[in-house]
Structure 1
Amino acid sequence: MAISVVRFQPKAGLPSTPPQWGVVFDRRIAVLATQATTTGEFVRHALAEARAATRAQATWSLDEVKLLSPVTTNQQFICQGVNYASHVRESGLDPRNFPFNTIFTKASSCITGPTDDVVRPRHVHLLDYEVELGLVLSQDLTQARDVQPDRLHEVLAGLTIVNDVSARDVQLPQGQFYKGKSYRTFGPVGPSLLLLEPHEWALWPSLRMRLSVNGSERQNDLCGSMLFKPHQTLTELSALQDLKAGDLIATGTPAGCAARAPGKLPMFLARHFISDAMKWKIFVRKGMKDPLFLQPNDVMELSIRTDDGRLDLGVQRNKVVSA
């Protein structure tokens, strides 16, 4: 049975109170004894303790705590781009032109909690959202490994919700994925790290991602729609770089983002008759009038779960505020 692990601080404590780890039973938390200060330490040394926790040990109410990101900021934050055909198409591109896995990184300092405010920098006007399934590694991968689709449990500890918040007026005109996606608070993660049993990893394609803004649904798709599956990405990344226990891989987002390409005629005109500089000026000017882009006081709500409720990663809720 999947286990929902949270990292938290008591609301009544001081901000300097060391975070604790616990297992959620309904709306109560069984506090774990582990002193792990990072996600890597937790998945290396405390998984057995988490799996041994019982409902009778759940003495803290979720209402008494502030939930933190279950992925700590020392871990790598690796992302997949254009990994859903629907998102590729809404970006004005053809999925057939992407026979490769698009990889980039976000600064780990952008990681924030599942209920923390997302701060929009003063110079950013086109703030966007992306609900994504997050994979958390259970071990170090320091050499190439051929990960099989039915052996994900050998290298992954669990799953979490990621919001890949993006400043489109930085990312796209400047061609700066890292820069446009790495401002502080641009990476809400959590609320939970869902630890799966080996046989439960076969259910990941049936996880449904949803994202709403102010109660209006914007994104809704199954994780199984992703183009490059987790085993393929883990295999490719392990041949490319070292990965460490606790590192986070965000697996891409489906259609429904605020940023989307104009129609075919405007795309043709922009490609053949307008300079790149003018094209992006028009993009930003038009985007500033688009109500889909996030504004201060907007509230994003994200969930990932199977339709039958067998796997449930919880609900992430963040408000946008001005810097």
Structure 2
Amino acid sequence: MRYAIDPPAIPSLPILGREERFPIRRVFCIGRNYAEHAREMGATVDASAPMFFCKPADAVLADGTDVPYPTATSELHHEVEMVVALKAGGSNLDAGQAAQAVFGYGVGLDLTRRDLQAIAKAKGHPWDVAKAFDHSAPVSALRPAGETTLHAGTRISLAVNGQVRQQGRLGEMVHGVADIIAALSTLFELKPGDLIFTGTPAGVAALQRGDRFRAEVEGVAVLESRIV
């Protein structure tokens, strides 16, 4: 097939221990999936109605690349999250099918222009400019699902300039991984290559130019980079 312009490159992530990379199709995110974070944002959790939003695939920043401080904000916030990569998809998946769709896991930051989000919330506007901007999703290399075991006590954390700011355990998630995938599949037809950010624990705060951060899901993935 011939195109009028050169097609864009396919965003991808490295896979631990492998030469091939994981191609990214879409990026889904769940909001308010840790009750303490919802409370710190002045919100409540409706466990019966998980809240989703999206980022573009090319918002993903891979390979520990420096993170450019975005335009149009003076309040860039970090939100550390476990990231799930899918090898299969479908619609209306049950929990068992959802669990089998997982390719692997990583850790990432759902970077947020908090000042623009506050304005959007006040006006009842969408959050796109606050969440879906360029380079707003730095993500680690992926660890294949068969090479790790997640449990309720698995720790997730973020340190900035050597000081821990966010920490929690996966058991604190309101919706677990299989439930998130199953719920998403009632709203979208999921496909191989999809990434899912699974929510952030409490402790979100501002990042400044020059800050160095270390995000980790214990025994799964580490992401280290800096804001430039």
Which bin holds the TM-score, normalised by the shorter protein? Answer: 0.7 to 0.9
CA distance change for structure 1 residues 91 and 22 in 2, over 3 Å: closer, same or farther? Answer: closer
Q: How far 1:140 moved relative to its partner?
A: 2.7
Q: How far 1:39 moved relative to its partner?
A: 2.3
Q: How far 1:130 moved relative to its partner?
A: 0.6
Residue of structure 1 in register with 2:75 after alignment: 126
Q: 2:94 aligns with which of 140, 146, 170?
A: 146
- Whole-Å separation in 1 of the counterparts to 2:87 and 2:169: 24
- Whole-Å separation in 2 of the counterparts to 1:234 and 1:183: 24
Q: How far 1:299 moved relative to its partner?
A: 1.2
Q: Is 2:191 the partner of 1:255?
A: no
One-letter amino acid of the structure 1 residue matched with residue 194 of structure 2 = D
Q: Is 2:145 the partner of 1:232?
A: no
SS of 1:103's equivalent in the other structure is strand
**Would the aligned equivalents of 1:107 and 1:182 in 2 still touch at CA under 8 Å?**
yes
- Whole-Å separation in 2 of the counterparts to 1:155 and 1:87: 28
Output one character per residue of 1:28-69: Cα deviation in whole Å (capped at 9) or x when no partner. xxx64x5xxx625xxxxxxxxxxxxxxxxxxxxxxxxxxxxx
Residue of structure 2 in register with 1:278 after alignment: none
**Would the aligned equivalents of 1:221 and 1:254 in 2 still touch at CA under 8 Å?**
yes
**Would the aligned equivalents of 2:16 and 2:143 in 1 still touch at CA under 8 Å?**
no
Q: How far 1:121 moved relative to its partner?
A: 2.6
Q: How far 1:223 moved relative to its partner?
A: 1.1
Output one character per residue of 1:245-299: Cα deviation in whole Å (capped at 9) or x when no partner. 12100000010002xxxxxxxxxxxxxxxxxxxxxxxxxxxxxxxxxx2111111
**Would the aligned equivalents of 2:15 and 2:144 in 1 still touch at CA under 8 Å?**
no
Structure 1 unpaired stretches of 5+: 1-15, 25-30, 41-71, 259-292, 306-310
Structure 1 length-normalised TM: 0.61
Residue of structure 2 in register with 1:303 after alignment: 216
More helix by share: 1
- What is the RMSD of the two structures over their aligned residues, measured on CA atoms? 2.4
Q: Is 2:102 the partner of 1:156?
A: yes
**Would the aligned equivalents of 2:14 and 2:63 in 1 still touch at CA under 8 Å?**
no
Counterparts of 1:239-318 in structure 2, within 5 Å, are: 239-258=186-205, 293-305=206-218, 311-313=219-221, 315-318=222-225
CA distance change for structure 1 residues 257 and 138 in 2, over 3 Å: closer, same or farther? Answer: same
One-letter amino acid of the structure 2 residue matched with residue 78 of structure 1 = F
**Would the aligned equivalents of 1:159 and 1:195 in 2 still touch at CA under 8 Å?**
yes
Q: How far 1:86 moved relative to its partner?
A: 0.7
Residue of structure 2 in register with 1:82 after alignment: 32
SS of 1:205's equivalent in the other structure is coil
One-letter amino acid of the structure 2 residue matched with residue 174 of structure 1 = A
Residue of structure 1 in register with 2:154 after alignment: 207
- Whole-Å separation in 2 of the counterparts to 1:244 and 1:228: 20
Residue of structure 2 in register with 1:169 after alignment: 115
Residue of structure 2 in register with 1:47 after alignment: none
**Would the aligned equivalents of 1:138 and 1:157 in 2 still touch at CA under 8 Å?**
yes
Residue of structure 1 in register with 2:22 after alignment: 39
Q: How far 1:164 moved relative to its partner?
A: 0.3
Structure 2 length-normalised TM: 0.84
- Whole-Å separation in 2 of the counterparts to 1:114 and 1:126: 25
**Would the aligned equivalents of 1:211 and 1:302 in 2 still touch at CA under 8 Å?**
yes
Output one character per residue of 1:119-143: Cα deviation in whole Å (capped at 9) or x when no partner. 12332100000110111111131x3
Q: How far 1:152 moved relative to its partner?
A: 5.2
- Whole-Å separation in 1 of the counterparts to 2:43 and 2:13: 44
**Would the aligned equivalents of 2:16 and 2:142 in 1 still touch at CA under 8 Å?**
no
- Whole-Å separation in 2 of the counterparts to 1:136 and 1:92: 30
Q: Is 2:160 the partner of 1:216?
A: no
Q: How far 1:98 moved relative to its partner?
A: 5.4
**Would the aligned equivalents of 1:110 and 1:186 in 2 still touch at CA under 8 Å?**
yes
One-letter amino acid of the structure 2 residue matched with residue 317 of structure 1 = E
**Would the aligned equivalents of 1:114 and 1:317 in 2 still touch at CA under 8 Å?**
no
One-letter amino acid of the structure 1 residue matched with residue 211 of structure 2 = D
- Whole-Å separation in 1 of the counterparts to 2:37 and 2:145: 28
Count of aligned pairs: 214
Report the identity percentage. Answer: 28
CA distance change for structure 1 residues 226 and 318 in 2, over 3 Å: closer, same or farther? Answer: same
One-letter amino acid of the structure 2 residue matched with residue 222 of structure 1 = R
